[in-house]
Amino acid sequence: MAFDIEMIKAVYARMDERINAARKVVGKPLTLSEKILYSHLTQGNATSAYQRGADYVDFNPDRVAMQDATAQMALLQFMQAGRPKVAVPSTVHCDHLIMAKDEAGKDLEIATKESKEVFDFLASVSNKYGIGFWKPGAGIIHQVVLENYAFPGGMMIGTDSHTVNAGGLGMVAIGVGGADACDVMAGLPWELKFPKLIGIKLTGKLSGWTAPKDVILKVAGILTVKGGTGCIVEYFGEGATAMSCTGKGTICNMGAEIGATTSTFGYDESMERYLRATGRAEVADLANGIKHHLTADAEVYANPEQYFDQVIEINLSELEPHINGPFSPDLATPVSKMKEVAQANGWPTKVEVGLIGSCTNSSYEDISRAASLAKQVAVKGLKTKAEFTITPGSEQVRYTIARDGFIDTFNQIGAKVFANACGPCIGMWNRVGADKKEKNTIVHSFNRNFQARQDGNPNTYAFVASPELTTALAIAGDLTFNPLTDKLVNEKGEHVMLDEPTGDELPNKGFAVEDAGYQAPAADGSGVSVIVEPTSTRLQLLEPFAAWEGTNITGLKLLIKAKGKCTTDHISPAGKWLMYRGHLDNISNNMLTGATNFFNEKINSVKNQLTGEYAEVPAVQRAYKAQGIGSIVVGDENYGEGSSREHAAMEPRHLGVRAVLVKSFARIHETNLKKQGMLALTFANKEDYNKIQENDTIDIVGLTTFAPNQPLTLVLNHDDGSNEEITVNHSYNDQQIEWFKAGGALNIIRASIGK
Ligand code: MIC
Ligand code: SF4
């Protein structure tokens, strides 16, 4: 039985009217993205067309998903909103807090003990407020959502940047911070700047070694980590329809790595097959009934240049497998060029570990294709050179692949099967020897490979590839091995080639599972109590942030001028810090500890302007806070790229940083800063980054007349007594300015309780 079928019926029932209204105001055929967006307007039927990339629009998403590491903050905020029950179907998934070390069973047992307090908290809040709860071990949020909740034409938000994965089933699914999720669960509209649209036409057909992953690895190479910012990417063409639904999920999933708001595909037979295979024939039947609304109008795909802001065409028949990395997911190298490129860059070529799975690539198809390679190891007399690990995406996938013998096949090449959880992907990997910080290479089928992300070692060169190629490179133990052309030497000294991977899109015998790990909420949760111990180190109830003081903000110390890439992994690292995701004060001790200080090129070492001494970033900021002095953080391009974690915005807010001034922002992080009552500013002239000096005291002028589209002025007071003014831009609309004034969006919801 499908979850929330009545909600899906209601969405489909209104689509015809809403899409017709939209077509009228837009005045031309519609893309799929527009159909979904316009049929989820808070106002109901569209009365005017929105300008892409310019207009802020209120939407009513159909559902909300949260994972354990971000759900804690989201729900701590929701608890303050004064609502008895969530307004839309919502779920919590326990996947980020399980350390991968030995094997699934043992690791899970340890994690459930260690994080008992947090899991109990999430389970009881879910129970109380009507939220579906997926226990530790049930699987990774995005895989569980794809298997159970995603539906063509739907719109959802989730407190994780890879929520976009559900685009594989034709949704518009968007990653957000917890405060946004809190709004939607409280029944408020959700605001988004109407996105621009990128159309990607896939011609030809995937074959041989090339996998869906290679499509997105290639796209990342073309668009870079910033290229999708503010855009929805819509895929279409014969190559798209010929691909599996889960393959589409992989492509959408990693669309987060190009900064895209989300990615999506039109409803087709692959989606129908997947819905039926995952027990949702009813949804497939409903979708078949309104098929034409679940894809773009025919004119759009026939002449995409007229309807999209940018069009890219990729011929899948010619697409080579790619390997992206190290340290950035957009550094794309075709497999045939790796030898040359690795040598030129001095990348270590011995592969130490191959890791497959994660929310990006753990479908039945992925695993069966990887297993077809693992099988060849024994048959061809080979020996696997690297270590090999698997993190299945859900219990349903794990149970089914175990039944079908794939786990046994992997065990024969010495694999470790970790729990159905994020594990190494998010740095929950107790990798032996990582603390020695040796230069080494790993290859994985995950989506992100920022420095130190997987094992905490900044000298680990992590490369991203398809599960098939990851398996082949692990067998070879060599990053430069090209399975399309190269031979391996087996134990007998013979030269052998690996055969192309083969697999099944869906299990022939159907999916199976004994206990999927789902816990339904109480029908009436009013009697359920949620306990947060005041002495807890892992959970802390939130105190409201102070409102704006009503004046210009002056005398801010420069906390750090961050140099180069500053992702959310640099601002609020994960790994060991994940344990404090529910305790704002404790997690604040990781604030910006991964960022590089422009002035001394060191990580986590900034000057305390009060003493002249260098110390760790959180310590310096706490020293300012103790004196009641505010500060400002300066950054480079695409600041806050990566995760949706709002801790990266709440920590500076909590510790007294007032503004973040950068060359450009990643979307989710910019919104998170606004939501928490911070000033998110951009240089009007990017060169002004160079004017910021280490001992600057900075004033923000113009706040008493703070208004949309009106720049503010910053006065840089240098320590030689001189000062200069620079102009800074912002993207606040009227509503967001109210958040700033109230000291955060939540203060506004709080104030409305009882009204
Ligand atoms: C990630 O992939 O970086 C995460 C961990 O899933 C994050 C969420 C988080 O930081 O909790 C994300 O992508 O949003
Ligand atoms: Fe988990 Fe990694 Fe997926 Fe994020 S990207 S949800 S950490 S598996």
CA dihedral of residues 737, 163, 263, 171 (deg, nearest 10):
-100
HSE, side-chain direction, 13 A CA sphere, residue 231: 23
Name the residue of 66, 68, 70 to mutate for ligand 1: max ligand atoms within 8 A of Cβ: 70
Q: What is the pLDDT of residue 531?
A: 85
Q: What number of residues does the chain have?
A: 755
**Distance between CA 243 and CA 254 in Å, rounded?**
16
Residues 169 and 151 sit within 8 Å (Cβ to Cβ):
yes
CA of 591 relative to ligand 1 center, distance in Å: 16
- Mean pLDDT in residue range 628-632: 98
Q: What is the pLDDT of residue 755?
A: 53
Closest CA to 661 of 632, 687, 686, 691: 632
Closest CA to 125 of 159, 88, 91: 91
Name the residue of 164, 422, 641 to mutate for ligand 2: max ligand atoms within 8 A of Cβ: 422
**Distance between CA 148 and CA 379 in Å, rounded?**
38
The residues lining ligand 2, judged by C-beta closer than 6 Å to any ligand atom, are: 140-142, 160, 162, 358-359, 422, 425-426, 446-447
CA of 142 relative to ligand 2 center, distance in Å: 8
pLDDT at 754 over 60: no
CA of 592 relative to ligand 1 center, distance in Å: 16
Q: Given pLDDT bands bounded at 50, 70 and 90, which one contains residue 750? A: confident
**Distance between CA 292 and CA 86 in Å, rounded?**
32
- Percent of the chain with pLDDT strictly greater than 70: 100
Report which bound ligand comes closest to the CA of 424.
2
Report which bound ligand comes closest to the CA of 423.
2
Name the residue of 67, 68, 91, 96 to mutate for ligand 2: max ligand atoms within 8 A of Cβ: 96
Paired strand residues for 64: 90, 157
Q: Given pLDDT bands bounded at 50, 70 and 90, which one contains residue 325? A: very high
- pLDDT per residue over 190-202, tens digit each? 999 999 999 999 9
Q: What is the pLDDT of residue 749?
A: 86
Closest approach atom of ligand 2 to CA 160: 6
Q: Where would I find the beta strands (DSSP E) of 369-435?
A: 387-391, 416-417
User: What are the C-alpha distances in Å from 356 to residues 143, 296, 363, 444, 575?
Assistant: 14, 34, 11, 6, 19
- pLDDT per residue over 190-239, tens digit each? 999 999 999 999 999 999 999 999 999 999 999 999 999 999 999 999 99
Residue 311 has a CB neighbour count (10 Å cut-off) of 15
Closest approach atom of ligand 2 to CA 447: 5
Q: What is the pLDDT of residue 751?
A: 85
* Residue-averaged pLDDT of the chain: 97
Query: Known catalytic residue: 96?
Result: yes
**Among the options 4, 62, 68, 95, which is catalytic?**
95
pLDDT at 38 over 80: yes
Query: Known catalytic residue: 285?
Result: no
Name the residue of 93, 143, 144, 162 to mutate for ligand 1: max ligand atoms within 8 A of Cβ: 162
**Among the options 572, 631, 643, 664, which is catalytic?**
643
CA of 668 relative to ligand 1 center, distance in Å: 12
Tokens 């729900």 map to which residue? 75
Q: What is the pLDDT of residue 527?
A: 95
Greatest Cα pair distance, the chain, in angstroms, is 80
CA of 224 relative to ligand 1 center, distance in Å: 19
CA of 253 relative to ligand 2 center, distance in Å: 10
**Distance between CA 376 and CA 472 in Å, rounded?**
10
**Distance between CA 726 and CA 717 in Å, rounded?**
11
Query: Known catalytic residue: 645?
Result: yes
Closest CA to 67 of 36, 45, 94, 90: 94
Residues 206 and 239 sit within 8 Å (Cβ to Cβ):
yes
Paired strand residues for 231: 196
Residues 6+ apart with CB under 8 A from 236: 199, 200, 201, 202, 265, 266, 295, 296, 301, 304
pLDDT at 184 over 60: yes
Residues 311 and 304 sit within 8 Å (Cβ to Cβ):
yes
Closest CA to 32 of 216, 308, 218: 308
**Among the options 160, 297, 569, 688, which is catalytic?**
160
pLDDT at 142 over 70: yes
Query: Known catalytic residue: 160?
Result: yes
**Distance between CA 622 and CA 617 in Å, rounded?**
9
- pLDDT per residue over 666-686, tens digit each? 999 999 999 999 999 999 999
Ligand 1 pocket residue status of 419, Cβ below 6 Å: no
pLDDT at 322 over 60: yes
Tokens 């039927």 map to which residue? 45
* Amino acid residing at 556: L
Mapping DSSP to helix (H, G, I), strand (E, B) and coil, where does residue 144 land? helix
Cα radius of gyration rounded to whole Å, the chain: 25
CA of 541 relative to ligand 2 center, distance in Å: 26
CA of 395 relative to ligand 2 center, distance in Å: 16
Q: What is the pLDDT of residue 122?
A: 98
Query: Known catalytic residue: 455?
Result: no
- pLDDT per residue over 335-359, tens digit each? 999 999 999 999 999 999 999 999 9
**Among the options 645, 647, 653, 730, which is catalytic?**
645
- Percent of the chain with pLDDT strictly greater than 90: 98
- pLDDT per residue over 412-425, tens digit each? 999 999 999 999 99
**Among the options 96, 322, 444, 538, which is catalytic?**
96
Report which bound ligand comes closest to the CA of 420.
2
- Mean pLDDT in residue range 406-411: 98
Ligand 1 pocket residue status of 426, Cβ below 6 Å: yes
Report which bound ligand comes closest to the CA of 95.
2
Residue nearest to atom 3 of ligand 2 (CA): 359
Q: What is the pLDDT of residue 383?
A: 97
HSE, side-chain direction, 13 A CA sphere, residue 401: 32
Q: Given pLDDT bands bounded at 50, 70 and 90, which one contains residue 661? A: very high
Query: Known catalytic residue: 581?
Result: no
Residue-wise burial string across 229-263, b where 16 or more C-beta atoms lie within 10 A, e elsewhere: bbbbbbbbbebbbbbbbbbbbbbbbbbbbbbbbbb
Name the residue of 92, 94, 97, 140 to mutate for ligand 2: max ligand atoms within 8 A of Cβ: 140
**Among the options 398, 444, 448, 647, which is catalytic?**
448
pLDDT at 103 over 70: yes
pLDDT at 50 over 60: yes
Report which bound ligand comes closest to the CA of 643.
1
Ligand 1 pocket residue status of 666, Cβ below 6 Å: no
**Distance between CA 563 and CA 549 in Å, rounded?**
31
Angle between helices 269-277 and 281-289 (to 10 degrees): 150
Ligand 1 pocket residue status of 69, Cβ below 6 Å: yes
CA of 168 relative to ligand 1 center, distance in Å: 19
pLDDT at 244 over 70: yes
Residues 2 and 278 sit within 8 Å (Cβ to Cβ):
no
pLDDT at 651 over 70: yes
Residue nearest to atom 2 of ligand 2 (CA): 425
- pLDDT per residue over 511-529, tens digit each? 999 999 999 999 999 999 9
Nearest-5° angle of CA 532, CA 537, CA 539? 35
